[in-house]
Structure 1
Amino acid sequence: MPDVDPALVDRAAALASRGDRVVLGIVGEPGAGKTTVALGLIDALRARGVPVAWLPMDGFHLGDRSLDELGLRARKGAIETFDGWGYLATLRRVIAEASHPVYVPGFERTLEQPIAADRVIPSGPALIVTEGNYLLDDAEPWSLVREVAVEVWYADVPDDVRRARLVDRHVEFGKSRADAEAWVATVDEPNAARIRARRHTADVIVDVPS
């Protein structure tokens, strides 16, 4: 896992000291390296003894059956293919319910499906690091995430690097290269444009190593 800028680790540790449960969001375009930043930050904080937990937004993908019923499977990853209200409710829950573990969904890329209760937020104080595409979006319920998160950081990487990573990821998980390139162009890039339009509202821009 790449090292995270120590100044960012310092900043996150300071946020963690604000209360028993504090949420830090990490947002970025598809392929920007949000998960890399989140996990690197979590490792660095744990090395300093800071209690920290991870709550990925990917667990709130709608499952394929729901997407098929809604006619949205061909747009998987777009904002309307997530359970935004469920994600917001879970963020609020982990803040309010620190006295016991809270189980939250994860996402299995080999299946391309959310997995219920795949991760646990332990009881007690913790900085909750959450990452995903739409944490800065101005449409409800996503706009309400800013009422929960003390800060939202934007993971930034050059577009050519990001697109190449996306194509490689789609190939790794089963698409042909031609299909992967088509998916990036027709699905991922419109999503990226929507996310990029809110970049200016982030508290911190994190330059992700390319």
Structure 2
Amino acid sequence: MALTFDDLLLRARSLPRDGRRAILGIAGSPGAGKSTLAAHVVRELNGGGKPWVAHVPMDGFHLADAELGRLGRRDRKGAPDTFDAAGYAALLRRLREEPYGDVVYAPGFERVLEQPLAGAVPVPPDARLVVTEGNYLLLDTGAWARVRPQLDEVWFCDLDEPERLRRLIARHEEFGKSHEEAVAWVERSDRRNAGLIAPTRERADLVVPASALPDASRPSERTGRGAAG
């Protein structure tokens, strides 16, 4: 039988075991629907009761533009070496090892400004499941290799290429780029990054087909401070 969104909810709900916190990773290429899926999973599992699932996007670990400029990487923003991968892995380890202490604050990403925002995402001590999403969760080079061991499962969003590119261009336009600028950025940067991400699909615990992805037009938790999916 075809995988459905309800199947994903059941699988995510079963991850926390033996009283410990679980961390679910959602990976995929830019525009594949990671953020939308993560937001819907968190919203549906939390329902109307006391929240027990938290959403921690990887995009809060973007290096600031000032640092990218110093490093000469501003025109490659979004590439693996334009993130603090070691810091992201350290946060995941802290979330796993210190689940019952104080609130853990993670950085968010301000999509309008396209800048990281410190302390924007609170993870309460009683969050039994953390959903994190980003492009490079399954990358096995450099500091990125430290990420996968901190995750109980990783799902890979698999969206057909024309639709993925259409969504990606539309998202860039939504946040201020002209159509020509959006297409140029996708061709210059996003397509190259997708070429690094696609081979990591085979390392995922589950490949999520487009048919199981929630409709991006449905209301969700996604806001300007969310990560790009």
Q: TM-score, normalised by structure 1?
A: 0.94
| Higher relative strand content | 1
Per the TM alignment, residue 207 of structure 1 is displaced from its structure 2 partner at its CA by: 1.7
Could you tell me which runs of 5 or more consecutive residues in structure 2 were left unpaired when the two chains were aligned: 216-229
Alignment match, 2:179:
177
Q: Given the alignment of the two structures, is residue 26 of structure 1 paired with residue 39 of structure 2, yes or no?
A: no
Q: Is the 8 A contact 1:56 1:132 kept in 2?
A: yes
- Go from structure 1 to structure 2 and tell me whether the alpha carbon gap of 1:124 and 1:193 turns closer, same or farther (over 3 Å shift): same
**Rounded Cα–Cα distance in structure 1 between residues aligned with 2:81 and 2:184:** 20
1:85: how far off? 0.3
CA distance in 1, matches of 2:154, 2:202: 11
Alignment map for 1:123-142 (pairs within 5 Å): 123-142=125-144
Q: Which residue of 2 aligns with 1:102?
A: 104
Amino acid corresponding to residue 54 of structure 1 in structure 2? H
| Aligned alpha-carbon RMSD (Å) | 1.5
Instruction: Give the distance between the partners of 1:152 and 1:48, measured in 2 at CA.
Output: 26
Match of 2:159 in 1: 157
Instruction: For 2:57 and 2:141, locate their aligned partners in 1 and report how far apart those are by CA, in whole Å.
Output: 20
Alpha-carbon offset, residue 124 of structure 1: 2.3
Aligned to 1:200: 202
Helix, strand or coil for the counterpart of 1:141?
helix
Provide the identity percentage.
Answer: 48
Q: Does the 8 A contact of 1:20 with 1:125 survive in 2?
A: no
Q: Is 1:85 aligned to residue 86 of structure 2?
A: yes
Whether the 8 Å contact between 1:100 and 1:124 is mirrored in structure 2 is no
**Deviation per residue, 1:58-97 (Å, 9 max, x gap):** 0000000000000001000000000000000111111222
Task: Determine whether 1:186 maps to 2:188.
Answer: yes
C-alpha contact (below 8 Å) 1:79/1:134 kept by paired residues? yes
- Spell out, residue by residue over 1:156-210, the C-alpha distance to the aligned partner (whole angstroms, 9 max, x if none): 1111011011111111111111111011011000100110011111000112347
Name the aligned partner's letter for residue 156 of structure 2: Y
Amino acid across the alignment from 2:126: G
**Aligned partners of 1:20 and 1:124 also within 8 Å:** no
Displacement after TM superposition at 1:43 (Å): 1.3
Report the AA paired with residue 170 of structure 1: H
Given that residues 56 and 130 in structure 1 are in contact (C-alpha distance below 8 angstroms), is that contact kept between their aligned partners in structure 2?
A: yes
Q: Give the Cα–Cα distance (whole angstroms) in 2 for the partners of residues 190 and 184 of structure 1.
A: 8
Quote how far apart the aligned CAs of 1:125 are. 4.3
Cα distance in 2 for partners of 1:35, 1:70 equals: 28
C-alpha distance in 1 between matches for 2:161 and 2:38? 20
Length, aligned pairs only: 207
Task: Name 1:167's counterpart in structure 2.
Answer: 169
Unaligned runs of 5+ in 1: none
Question: What is residue 43 of structure 1 aligned with on the other side?
Answer: 43
Cα separation, 2, equivalents of 1:178 and 1:146: 36
